[in-house]
Amino acid sequence: MSSRLSLLTAAGLLVVAGTLTACGDAGSSGTTAPPTATAAGAGCAPEKSDVLVVLADDKKLQNSDNIVAVANKSKSTPALLAAVDKVGAALDTTKLVALNKAVDVDRKTPAVAAKEFAEANSLTTGLSGGSGDVVVGAANFPESETLAELYKLALNAAGFKATVKKSTNREVYEPAIERGEITVFPEYAATLTEFLNQKANGKDAKPVASGDINATIEALKPLADKYQLVVGTPSAATDQNAFATTKPLADKYGLKTLSDFAAKCNGGASVLAGPPECPQRPFCQPGLLETYGISFGNFFQADAGGPLAKGALKNGNASLALVFSSDSSLTPA
């Protein structure tokens, strides 16, 4: 699955990105001492495995990037929002992972994966009140395309004539929603909030998104209204930064949450894998230390949720690695 989120700004804000490539020259990845770590405990040495599990972010270090529909205000109707919100209500992160697996691993098209999910979850029943043409936008990665196909199915069931239009990045498609060229789009709550916050208040605007999805949506609503947009009800499904370990290590120490990792794996034997900027970014190594009290003996330079980070876990080079919560190759702990 293509990586979509990146620890990019100095404030640690999540932004949509294209597929992340390996950092540095070939062979540059390696284990180095992290500049801010104070490894107080024994830690947990890496354990090789191809089975990777995501540890729950129980203290909400990461911003709440729940899936949420954003629509053009003048073209939005109660029937439209009811249809797309029904899609959101049918999803959680585990189901989103399964949808991504259907496309990424099982090689189904987003349309086929969406149709099968809609049938299994009765997404096209009980909807009505729609009429006229609706354009559903999709970004250029499979998860967004699958979500757009789900919106299309629900909207057609409500009586609209929905089509899917693929776009590129947020800088392109968000103004298209404002203009009404795109009617509705499956978005990510915290990322959209900060995009509009910076659009309204400048690149140095104080962040208003947080790990609290309700507070994030409340911050998003007036920003959306400023640009003639409306947002739906956020889904339980998220696609955001997360941290994973291997199943043998999780089973050995009984790890299900990052708090568990802090209690049992804090210290010198533990190795963190992530992109080069991880030791300086609040949502990566400093955040793990500040929010959970986790320190590491070493840092393995990899990428953000891509093959290098997951490979560091699989090959026994890292105890914990930065990943994405809806990655089809991961399972909950």
Domain 67-231 sits in CATH at 3.10.105
* Alpha-helix runs per DSSP H in the chain: 78-90, 93-104, 110-120, 142-157, 170-179, 189-201, 213-226, 247-253, 258-265, 285-287, 307-314
Is residue 332 very low, low, confident or very high in pLDDT (cuts 50, 70, 90)? confident
DSSP per residue over 232-267, as a string? -PPPS-B--EEEEEEHHHHHHHT--BHHHHHHHH-E
Query: Which pLDDT does position 333 carry in this prediction?
Result: 72
Is residue 26 very low, low, confident or very high in pLDDT (cuts 50, 70, 90)? very low
Hey, what CATH class is 5-62+240-332 in? alpha beta
Which tens digits make up the pLDDT trace of 172-218?
A: 999 999 999 999 999 999 999 999 999 999 999 999 999 999 999 99
Q: Is the pLDDT of residue 272 over 80?
A: yes
Is residue 16 very low, low, confident or very high in pLDDT (cuts 50, 70, 90)? very low
* Alpha-helix runs per DSSP H in 70-169: 78-90, 93-104, 110-120, 142-157
| Strand partners of residue 67 | 188
Give 144 or 40, the one with higher predicted confidence. Answer: 144
Q: Is the pLDDT of residue 40 over 90?
A: no
Query: Which pLDDT does position 331 carry in this prediction?
Result: 80
Q: Mean pLDDT, the chain, as a whole number? A: 89
Query: Which pLDDT does position 15 carry in this prediction?
Result: 36
Describe the strand order of the beta sheet including 161-166 as a list of residue ranges. Answer: 161-166, 133-138, 184-188, 67-72, 229-231
| Strand partners of residue 322 | 243
- Calculate mean pLDDT across residues 9-24: 32
Q: Which residues contact residue 206 at a Cβ distance below 8 angstroms, ignoring those fewer than 6 apart? A: none
DSSP state of 21: P
Q: Which percentage of the chain shows pLDDT scores above 70?
A: 88
**CA trace torsion 96, 195, 6, 327 (10° rounding):** 0
- Calculate mean pLDDT across residues 93-100: 96
Q: Is the pLDDT of residue 142 over 80?
A: yes
- Calculate mean pLDDT across residues 124-153: 97
Q: Taking the model in full, what pTM does it have? A: 0.85
Q: Which percentage of the chain shows pLDDT scores above 90?
A: 86
* Domain positions in the chain: 5-62+240-332, 67-231
Tokens of 2: 């293509």
Is residue 50 very low, low, confident or very high in pLDDT (cuts 50, 70, 90)? very high
Q: Is the pLDDT of residue 281 over 80?
A: yes
| Strand partners of residue 56 | 257
Query: Which pLDDT does position 17 carry in this prediction?
Result: 33
